[in-house]
A and B are shown apart, each in its own frame.
Chain A
């Protein structure tokens, strides 16, 4: 099962023990820093820091590779475009930055149970309840979004294999059933949530 998002791994590292708020704030600050600093040397330093964090969190290499594979493809395409439009230095910086951001995000998701993350959101959104915000609903939306990614990915692989098995090569033979299945799955999930009384 490959997913663009790292799934939580229980552990006892410093990153595991930090409160969610501190980690999320750290992530925001670090990401902002990565984006506002320019030039390949700065980008390289940032990537080095991210690698150190990943080592501290003891994220297995296999998990890292699997989670960042898709991101790397995007980074390479983006980098190639930048090379053509703004030159090699800019392209290298973009490539390094994207990998750094991915790695930083991974550090958060691997060391934080999504339940803790959701609870933190619910706490922070509590003051906005008087303006009509329902914190539990927002939290559920976030967790559904996260869990739908591996689900959708699995559906994509299944549909592709089904098209291949019938020797169909056109994009339509793959995309039409894929889109229909994703929508059908969304309906099923909605019915399941309703049946469990979640969001009532």
Chain B
């Protein structure tokens, strides 16, 4: 498992000086880390710092001693990222082609690539849907496909930004089980507190800063208490 370290990493809007995330220092070593907090609290920015989708304006973020700002491509090969809305990240017309797109760089041979992509689809409960259009999938299936696409290359870490927010109860559970059962390190940004409480560590983000960091159950309690006040 790679070591993700934030060293006084913060994000400020250059023109207005508005602080999106105050300088934060922490190390992520747990298998499953939940990040919870209100809308607009800075959770997503925190998540995007981890693989260089957002670069810190102060301090730095290191993945296995690789500076995210300087080695973005190498970091993103280790740290995969999934978005709330799967439609934005599915770019190919059919299921198998979208997974193949992820494999394009590592598997040059077309036949092998397809076979691997079919395997991946099967692992994510999408067997038999290889040639189905991504537009005809249900929301839950679409999120599964998006996850299949980013996990096909066997990254070491998955950062998932509210992966269940758009899903119904059944799909929330199945996607949740899948995420918590992954061998990869998981950084799970979520509003689903049932899911958050099952992680090994909980980080509460409020007003652009880490408000609580500790065991997941205590983090959830702290977040719920902060809302009740």
A200 contact set on B, CB distance < 8 A:
72-73, 76
Contact with B along A134-163 (1 / 0, CB 8 A): 001000100110110011001000000000
Q: Out of A3, A7, A195, which one reaches B80, CB within 8 Å?
A: A195
Does B53 contact A115, Cβ atoms closer than 8 Å?
Answer: no
Task: Name A195's closest neighbour in chain B (CB-CB).
Answer: B81
- Asked if A52 lies at the interface with its beta carbon under 8 angstroms from chain B, I say no
Q: Establish whether residues A115 and B97, one from each chain, have CB atoms under 8 Å apart when the complex forms.
A: yes
B173 on the interface (CB 8 Å rule)? Answer: no
Q: Which of B80, B85, B91, B131 contacts A10 (CB 8 A)?
A: B131
Distance of A80 from chain B, by nearest CB (Å) = 33
Q: Is A167 an interface position by the 8 A CB rule?
A: no
Flag the segment in B26-34, B100-108, B187-195, B220-228 that touches A: B100-108
> What is the CA–CA distance of A29 and B100 in the complex, to the nearest angstrom?
31
Indicate whether B136 reaches chain A with its CB closer than 8 angstroms: yes
**B45 interfacial contact with A, CB 8 Å:** no
Q: Does A114 contact B (CB under 8 A)?
A: yes
| Contacting residues, chain B, for A1 (C-beta < 8 A) | 133, 135-136
Give CA–CA (A185, B97) in the complex, Å.
Answer: 21
A168 touches B (CB below 8 Å) = no
Query: How far apart sit A200 and B131, CA to CA, in the bound complex (Å)?
Result: 27
B169 sits at the interface (CB 8 A): no
CB distance from B209 to the nearest CB of A (A): 24
Is A150 touching B91 in the complex (CB atoms < 8 A)? Answer: no
State whether A8 and B76 are in contact (beta carbons under 8 Å apart), knowing that A189-B89, A192-B88 are contacts in the complex: no
How far does the alpha carbon of A43 sit from the alpha carbon of B30 in the complex, in Å? Answer: 69
Report the separation of the CA atoms of residues A9 and B131 in the bound assembly, to the nearest whole angstrom: 8
| B91 contact from A8, A193, A194, Cβ within 8 A | A193
Q: Which chain B residues in 44-74 approach chain A with CB under 8 Å? A: 51, 53, 72-73
How far apart are the CA atoms of A145 and B66 in the complex, in Å? 34
19 A-B pairs whose Cβ atoms sit less than 8 Å apart in the complex:
A1-B136, A7-B93, A7-B94, A113-B97, A114-B92, A115-B92, A115-B97, A115-B100, A188-B85, A188-B88, A189-B91, A195-B51, A195-B80, A195-B150, A196-B101, A196-B150, A198-B104, A198-B105, A200-B72
**Interface of A with B (CB < 8 Å)?**
1, 3, 7-10, 113-115, 119, 136, 140, 143-144, 146-147, 150-151, 154, 185, 188-189, 191-198, 200
Q: Give 9 nearest A-B pairs by CB, closest first.
A: A192-B89, A188-B88, A200-B73, A195-B81, A1-B135, A197-B76, A115-B97, A10-B131, A7-B133
